[in-house]
Amino acid sequence: MNYARFLIVAAACSMVLATAVFGQIGERLLINGYSSFEFEKQLDEQGEGDPNGSFDADLFDLVLNVYATTRLRIAADFSWEHGPASEDNRGNVVLEYGFGEFIVSEALRIRAGKMFTSFSIYNEIHTAKPAFLTVKEPLSTNKNEKFGSQFRFYPRWGTGIAILGNGQLGTLDSDYIIQVTNGEQDYSDNGANPFEEDDNLAKSFLGRARIYPTPSAELGVSAYYDRFNATDSTGALDGSENDLFSLGSHLQVTGDAVGLELEYVFGLISGNSGTLNRAGLTAMVYTPIRDYFVPYLRFEYLDPNFDVEDDFATLIIPGLNIQVDDGLYVKLEANFLNSGANNVQFNGIGYTELKAAIAIGF
Amino acid sequence: MKCKKYLFAITMLTLIVLAQHTGIAQEKGIIIVHKSVPTDSMSSSDIQDIYMGRDLLWDNTVKIEPVMLEKKHEITKRFLKQILDMNYSKFRRFWLRKTYSGNKPGPKYLDSIDRMIEFVSQTAGAIGYVAVTDIDKEKLKNCKVIYVDSLPAF
């Protein structure tokens, strides 16, 4: 009897304690996230799209923010892409970012950990489908390695430290970020994990500054520099190093009647084998109708190497983004891709692909 | 026949444009803050800085905790239009981008006036808003009403 009483009292105490602890954690922890489900069907026989009309459990993503103190925030973003099943080696699981941020003042915050490379508009939201209108982020300025370039303009992530903040530049609102990270490493993978260990002395540097001429307009410039070990045609390190430099500019206008997004990135890679210049452009116009329907038209262009003729790739995307409910978006679009004969990804092929997506943000 | 088609297209376009001019709530609102907040008046621009995530701390000491009422409340539309100069969809998308890119997440959303008043009353650094008709002096005793651009209501 006494034992039963003891158990009841102990269970009651545990519940009270658990409620109190959960309450404390609940006040400090914020959970957000997003999910995206997609469908793609290539209409032409030839092309790099999906000829089978597949459904894609694109991703499920959780964003956690823990407020350890008034000034200290820990942020993490976990992503499960394409229905991961590790036993079958399918899909992808990734820590998109995981860092601590300390607020010295609004003009100076310090981050340390794994971060997105804060270049231009899209890299920081490159999987966050509810955050942009189109089904995919731009290939020409964000995923150029899938559009005919040998290297990206900048890596998706970096591990290191950053300072960032916002304030007034004259009479204009502005913000900035400077990141110093290990940078990317040679893509042939010689065993090193750039989020754990650098494979050379050089660090990468990223800087971005943005000004807001009006509450609806954003103008930004970004620059990225890194030096990485070069490889020969077999993928083996050849003992030399390449410099990678990319310079971007962007403009966003989010008017009530018309919106506009422009991104331009110029990049160069230089090393023993010479210098490669390339550039990418994205332009999008859209017009919100009654808050819920947003027709859009995007144009993308990439010149992967100024010295190679006819290696361009272009993409024209008319589409419609429908806000069905708060945070629930349906996207429908057509992708008209065209390429030059010397484009290494598409080899002169042009094709059309229909894409649809359901994106949920919370 | 062609003329009819053009007429139909023009009519549809006109309807779409007219439909976009949705009215905003006529009822005015007030800005409320926790009684510990060290100010009695703010400009619209100050409040924009808070709700757009540019200002994070009161006097560089206390964390600012902005809260919003859910979209179903008419006063939210008025607050967004009059103070932030944007509609709800634009505001949501702005914060989706900020949150997913690693920045501090945006304002908390609360579903009722009572919860709004309760939150602002009990949370140091909190700022929110209610409609003028929702003012209940007893309930607001732990809050301060803030003048915006030298006016008591927006």
For residue B121, pLDDT over 60 is answered with: yes
For residue A11, pLDDT over 70 is answered with: yes
Task: Please compute the mean of the pLDDT values over residues A68-74 and round it to a whole number.
Answer: 95
* Nearest Cβ partner for B105 among A30, A173, A291: A30
CA gap A89, A86 in Å, rounded: 5
Residue A93, helix vs strand vs coil? strand
DSSP codes joined into one string, A17-46: HHHHHHHHHHHHEEEEEEEEEEEEEE-SSS
Q: What is the CA radius of gyration of chain A?
A: 23
Task: Please compute the mean of the pLDDT values over residues A280-299 and round it to a whole number.
Answer: 95
CA gap B92, B52 in Å, rounded: 11
Q: How far is B123 from chain A (nearest CA, A)?
A: 11
**Which amino acid belongs to residue A144?**
N
Q: What is the ipTM of this complex?
A: 0.88
Residue A233, helix vs strand vs coil? coil
Strand partners, B131: B29
Residue of A nearest to B92 (CA): A327
Residue A144, helix vs strand vs coil? helix
Residues of chain B with Cβ-Cβ distance to A124 below 8 Å are: 97, 100-102
Residues of chain B with Cβ-Cβ distance to A125 below 8 Å are: 97, 100-101
Residues of chain B with Cβ-Cβ distance to A327 below 8 Å are: 92, 96
pLDDT digits (tens, 9 = 90+) for A112-138: 999 999 999 999 999 999 999 999 999
Query: How many residue pairs from chains A and B have C-beta atoms closer than 8 A?
Result: 92
**Any alpha helices (H) in B21-139, and if so which ranges?**
44-51, 74-79, 88-100, 113-122
CB contact under 8 A, A30 and B93: no
State how beta strands B65-69 and B126-131 pair: parallel
CB contact under 8 A, A215 and B48: yes
pLDDT for residue A241: 86
CA gap B78, A23 in Å, rounded: 33
Residues of chain A with Cβ-Cβ distance to B61 below 8 Å are: 70
* Residue A223: CB atoms within 10 Å: 16
**CATH class for the domain made up of B24-148:** alpha beta
pLDDT for residue B22: 47
Enumerate chain B positions whose Cβ falls within 8 A of a Cβ in A: 16, 19-20, 22, 48-49, 52, 54-57, 60-63, 71, 84-90, 92-94, 96-97, 99-102, 104-105
pLDDT for residue A49: 94
* Nearest Cβ partner for A131 among B16, B89, B100: B100
Residue B154, helix vs strand vs coil? coil
Residues of chain B with Cβ-Cβ distance to A175 below 8 Å are: 54
For residue A79, pLDDT over 50 is answered with: yes
User: Domains in chain A, start-ordered, CATH in brackets?
Assistant: 2-361 (2.40.160.10)
How far apart, in Å, are the Cα atoms of A38 and each of A34, A51, A53, A134, A299?
13, 14, 10, 12, 21
Q: Phi then psi for B9, rounded to 5 degrees? A: -60, -45
CB contact under 8 A, A361 and B96: yes
CB contact under 8 A, B56 and A106: yes
* Reported confidence tier of residue B134, pLDDT bands at 50, 70, 90: confident
pLDDT for residue B18: 46
Task: Please compute the mean of the pLDDT values over residues A314-320 and round it to a whole number.
Answer: 98
CA gap A161, A48 in Å, rounded: 38
CB contact under 8 A, A106 and B20: no
Q: For the ranges A80-84, A303-307, B11-15, B136-140, which has the lowest average pLDDT?
A: B11-15
DSSP A156: S
User: Side-chain half-sphere of A98: how many Cα atoms within 13 Å?
Assistant: 6
pLDDT for residue B19: 45
CB contact under 8 A, A65 and B20: no
pLDDT digits (tens, 9 = 90+) for A161-174: 999 999 999 889 99
pLDDT for residue A26: 67
CA gap A203, A189 in Å, rounded: 18
Mutate to test the interface with B, among A29, A291, A294, A324 (most CBs of B within 10 A): A291
pLDDT for residue A12: 75
* Reported confidence tier of residue B2, pLDDT bands at 50, 70, 90: low
CB contact under 8 A, A128 and B96: yes
Cα A140 to the chain's mean position, in Å?
Answer: 13
pLDDT digits (tens, 9 = 90+) for A225-258: 999 888 777 777 778 888 999 999 999 999 989 9
